[in-house]
Structure 1
Amino acid sequence: MPVAKPSRSIPEHSGTSYPPPHDERVKRRAWRALGNAFGLTQFGVNLVRLEPGIWSSQRHWHALEDEFIYVLSGHPTLVTDAGEERLSPGDCAGFPGGVKDGHHLKNDTDTIVEILVVGSRVPEDHGEYSDIDMVFRPGRAGYATKGGTPF
């Protein structure tokens, strides 16, 4: 396994596993799984690219996993329960697991946004989407409504 490699040599992925209609705003997001390229298992590291009009995710919170974001380029809008805040390159934010403060980034500018996303990998993690009737379940169990009906 190489000690170092250019991030652009790591394959880019795009899309989402969200069910319709919740997939619309995020299905064109793109990312490079940097942590996977080095066999990291305790935390994930992703280089995320958001074209104009694209969101990083639906607004959500994790029960067990911590998340951290660092803005590399562009000016995304961070949306949390406190409202919206425009970020700039060099800005960062952290979201501790268990804090029910839904968050996501949206690119409402006309230029590409790149962010570094770091998160813990807890197989039992689960959480909720703040603005829609959807939860994510532990492991790869998928999505359900807040009442428990699977999508």
Structure 2
Amino acid sequence: MSGQSHIPGEAAGQSLPSPPPIPVPAGGLGKPLPALPWCRKFGAIRSAEQCRAYTEAFSADYAEYRYLHTRIGNVSRHFGQLGAHIKTLQRGTAEHKAAEDRVVQEYRRFKRTYPGYRKEKDRCEYLHRKLSHIKGLILQFEEGHSP
């Protein structure tokens, strides 16, 4: 393979944005989490053919990831802007109360119009971890096999 990466988004200098931190399991950090299916499926790359297969697997999920990431990002930005606006207002004022009420209304509307948000966010985070794993394996292979 050439020195250039064949991972979608990588050629344009883009990298996968970091997902939110993963919450600590209720049992604490002492218990190891079971390996995710893609961790077992995608081990170290041993050949150019295997690298091509990993690149195809990456590409197969990348479009879905970008779509979900954009949707989740738009929601996060919207509520982040509302929250930032509230922080600029003095507590106890009518304006602050109106802004809080607007957030509550927006949230209720959001829950009605986007009932699958939590599932989509979980899927986006899952894909992020999977794609980051595959991307790391591809880049590691390419570094060791560049001309």
Query: If each structure's strand is expressed as a fraction of its own residues, which one has the higher value?
Result: 1
Higher relative contact order (CA 8 A, sep 6+): 2
> Is the TM-score greater than 0.5?
no
TM interval, shorter chain, is under 0.3
TM-score of the aligned structures, taking structure 2 as reference length: 0.27
Structure having the higher helix fraction is 2
Larger radius of gyration: 2
Q: TM-score, normalised by structure 1?
A: 0.26
